[in-house]
Amino acid sequence: MDERANLMNMMKLSIKSLIQSALNLGRSLDSEYPPLQQFFVIIEHCLKHGLKVKKSFIGQNKSFYGPLELVEKLCPESSDLFANIKNLPELKTHVGRGRAWLHLALMQKKLADYLQVLIDHKDLLSEFYEQDALMMEEEGAVIVGLLVGLNMIDANLCLKGEDLDCQVGVIDFSFYLKDTQQNDNEKHTDDIAAILDQKHYVEELNRHLSCTVGDLQSKIDCLEKTNSKINEELIAAKDRLVSLQEEHDHLLKETAQILEKSEKSVEVNKQDAKVELETYKQSRQGLNELYNEVWKQLKVEKQNRMEMEKELELQVGMKAEMEIAMKLLEKDIHEKQDTLVVLRQQLDDVKAINLQMCQKVQDAETALCKKNEVVTSLQAISDQMTSAAKQMEERMQKAEKARQSSEDKYNKMKMEFAVKTESFQQELEQVRARCSVLELDLKSEREKHFNLQEELQKEKSMSSSLQSELQQLSKLKKDFEKLQLEKNQLHKLCDEQEQALQEMGLHLSQSKLKMEDIKEVNKALKGHTWLKDDEATGCKQCNKEFSISRRKHHCRNCGDIFCNTCSSNELSLPSYPKPVRVCDTCHNLLLQRCSSNSS
């Protein structure tokens, strides 16, 4: 279910990016356009999901071109498309033919129609797909509905058989990571969740590939062991055949000598010759029986060798597939390294943005400090103006009081000092002039006071705007903290991916070291050379000479030749899983080693 959902989400993203790029580029795309290449990779993964594996002599075959061939039977209009695919001489694999079919169907703008015909005939698709496959479930119909939107795109594609056969279908998730960061800033958290799901999906694929690689390596090790055992058994059988043939020749020579001696002394030793002939016949019958048994064993071993050669050919094919899988794994590792480089570049961009935001915050704080200083200075000026206005009012009151007192004095002294009226009138005019001057000063001071009040209101509005900017700065600080958290999360993700890559490298190095150790053990096991039968005339332990009754036997551990009594013991060796013949000295040494290892 999770794999189908991930594939459907990736298909949505790829179709969306294709449509947007087509609108930006004039609705015409070529084969070298990266989003279009990623679309073909994703639809290939969708068609491969849930495919049934077909076994053959070479190995397991899993191609999505088989269900696509049904379109030719169900839709006669697609005959030209299949004819064009057959006319391409460079295509050698079914995967290349399937990719060419997808390219040509997109160029004809009938990709959705052809896949809809396949989905309508699920009874035919059940032969190629399992029940929980994407093409058999509802997600397949949804993807076909999404593909209808691609009919607005004009694709100019160039088909190359070598590229289609050798192309590695790996999804580049960094491309969609960039698009989501550039276009969907508001849905950032949802995109991160989707990206994490895609990352888990890729990790599961990598784990599956590592498990398959481990299984293939274990199978190769088992096959190498069985091959070495079979080769050793073949060598032993050949040695036995050679020894039997030599013994047979020796017996023939001895019989010829006996016949010559018997012809010379027929009259003298008739009875001895008869006894010897009887013993010879008995030994000859035993030798014939042994020869027949060895011949049957040879036939069985030849059959086993043919079967093992067939298995070896199959294993060679499996080894080639494993090498291809290892190359794919290396390419995945390189692509992951590229994605890590891209993520590091994005982290550097985020750091630069954070530095810019910090500089903006510092500039805003300095501007706030300056504006606060201006507000304090304006408040001090307004306080001074209010104090000056109060002083002017006190002066006016004093002037009015002085004017009233002067009028009283004038009324009192009017009768007494009639002569001095003119002087008093002049003084009154001077006082009135002073009063008018003071009134003008009061008006000017009041105007200044109103201007200061207006300036105060402006400063208050400026302070309110600065407070709003402060709030915005606090919001920006919160966003900055969120970005720092996201940066830390990305750092953690990068560290985890680097640890995963290091673990993969350690596993690969350990597996290579194990292979080298196994090869060295095999070389050490193969290092014992067998002694030839011609070189040994007597038993190495008891020094008794070999004859017809005392036969030669090889020790499977040291390779020397012993008699039956000195090599009657049997033990299982590393190169021989079944118990084989071992001499007495090797038997004692091996038992001592087993007891020391167990203790």
* CATH number for the domain that contains residue 546: 3.30.40.10
Residue with more model confidence, 200 or 133: 133
Average pLDDT of the residues of the chain = 76
In a domain, 516, yes or no: no
Distance of CA 540 to the CA centre of its chain: 62
Domain ends where: 442, 470, 495? 495
Residue 485 domain boundaries:
347-495
Categorize the per-residue pLDDT at 583 as very low, low, confident or very high, splitting at 50, 70 and 90: very high
Residue 29 contacts residue 154 (beta carbons within 8 Å): yes
Are 165 and 52 found together in one domain?
yes
Q: What is the largest CA-CA distance in the chain?
A: 215
- Mapped onto helix, strand or coil, the DSSP state of residue 441 is helix
Other C-beta atoms lying within 10 Å of the C-beta of residue 485? 10
530: enclosing H helix or E strand? none
Predicted pLDDT at 193: 63
Q: How far is it, in rounded angstroms, from Cα 172 to Cα 356?
A: 31
Predicted pLDDT at 421: 62
Q: How far is it, in rounded angstroms, from Cα 584 to Cα 558?
A: 11
Residue 385 contacts residue 456 (beta carbons within 8 Å): no
In a domain, 437, yes or no: yes
Predicted pLDDT at 56: 46
Backbone angles phi, psi at 575, to 5 degrees: -85, -15
Q: How far is it, in rounded angstroms, from Cα 369 to Cα 403?
A: 51
Residue with more model confidence, 24 or 569: 569
Domain ends where: 119, 152, 171? 171
CATH of the domain at 480: 1.10.287.1490
Least confident residue range of 299-308, 384-393, 454-463, 484-493: 384-393
In a domain, 223, yes or no: no
Categorize the per-residue pLDDT at 57 as very low, low, confident or very high, splitting at 50, 70 and 90: very low
In a domain, 522, yes or no: no
In a domain, 305, yes or no: no
User: Dihedral of the CA atoms 416, 420, 425, 426 (nearest 10)?
Assistant: -160
Categorize the per-residue pLDDT at 78 as very low, low, confident or very high, splitting at 50, 70 and 90: confident
Categorize the per-residue pLDDT at 566 as very low, low, confident or very high, splitting at 50, 70 and 90: very high
**pLDDT by residue (tens digit) across 396-439?**
788 778 777 767 776 776 677 666 667 767 777 887 888 788 88
Are 445 and 351 found together in one domain?
yes
Q: How far is it, in rounded angstroms, from Cα 39 to Cα 18?
A: 8
Residue 588 contacts residue 240 (beta carbons within 8 Å): no
Q: Is the per-residue pLDDT at 293 higher than 60?
A: yes
Q: Which of 187, 145, 151, 108 is nearest to 18 (CA)?
A: 151
Average pLDDT for 444-457: 84
For the chain, give the number of residues.
Answer: 599
Are 351 and 412 found together in one domain?
yes
Are 44 and 134 found together in one domain?
yes
Predicted pLDDT at 221: 79
Q: Is the per-residue pLDDT at 334 higher than 80?
A: no
Predicted pLDDT at 536: 85
The reported pTM is: 0.33
Q: How far is it, in rounded angstroms, from Cα 173 to Cα 369?
A: 47
Categorize the per-residue pLDDT at 113 as very low, low, confident or very high, splitting at 50, 70 and 90: confident
- Checking phi first, is residue 170 left (phi over 0); if not, alpha (psi -120 to 50) or beta? beta
CATH of the domain at 63: 1.20.58.900
In a domain, 549, yes or no: yes
To the nearest whole percent, how much of the chain has pLDDT over 90? 2
Domain ends where: 156, 171, 186? 171
CA distances from 568 to 181, 556, 586, 595 (A): 79, 12, 12, 21
Are 430 and 575 found together in one domain?
no
Are 490 and 540 found together in one domain?
no
Residue 26 contacts residue 288 (beta carbons within 8 Å): no
The DSSP code sequence of 89-154 is: TT--SHHHHHHHHHHHHHHHT-HHHHHHHHHH-HHHHTTTB-TTSTTTSHHHHHHHHHHGGGGG-E
Predicted pLDDT at 341: 77
CA distances from 374 to 303, 433, 458 (A): 105, 40, 12
Residue 406 contacts residue 428 (beta carbons within 8 Å): yes
Average pLDDT for 212-241: 79
Residue with more model confidence, 57 or 473: 473
Q: How far is it, in rounded angstroms, from Cα 14 to Cα 10?
A: 6
Residue 40 contacts residue 28 (beta carbons within 8 Å): no
And the tokens for 15? 């179709």
In a domain, 26, yes or no: yes
- Mapped onto helix, strand or coil, the DSSP state of residue 578 is coil
Are 471 and 551 found together in one domain?
no
Are 542 and 590 found together in one domain?
yes
Q: Is the per-residue pLDDT at 124 higher than 50?
A: yes
Q: How far is it, in rounded angstroms, from Cα 364 to Cα 279?
A: 121
In a domain, 271, yes or no: no
Are 139 and 66 found together in one domain?
yes
Predicted pLDDT at 62: 60
The DSSP code sequence of 21-76 is: HHHHHTSEEETT-HHHHHHHHHHHHHHHTTBPPEE-SS-EE--THHHHTHHHHH-G
**Cβ-Cβ contacts under 8 Å for 150 (sequence gap 6 or more):** 15, 18, 19, 106, 109, 111, 112
Are 150 and 67 found together in one domain?
yes
And the tokens for 268? 């003298």
Are 60 and 125 found together in one domain?
yes
Q: Is the per-residue pLDDT at 204 higher than 70?
A: no
Number of independent structural domains in the chain: 3
Other C-beta atoms lying within 10 Å of the C-beta of residue 546? 17
Are 11 and 145 found together in one domain?
yes
Q: Tell me the β-bridge partners of 51.
A: 129
Q: Is the per-residue pLDDT at 177 higher than 60?
A: no
Average pLDDT for 4-30: 76
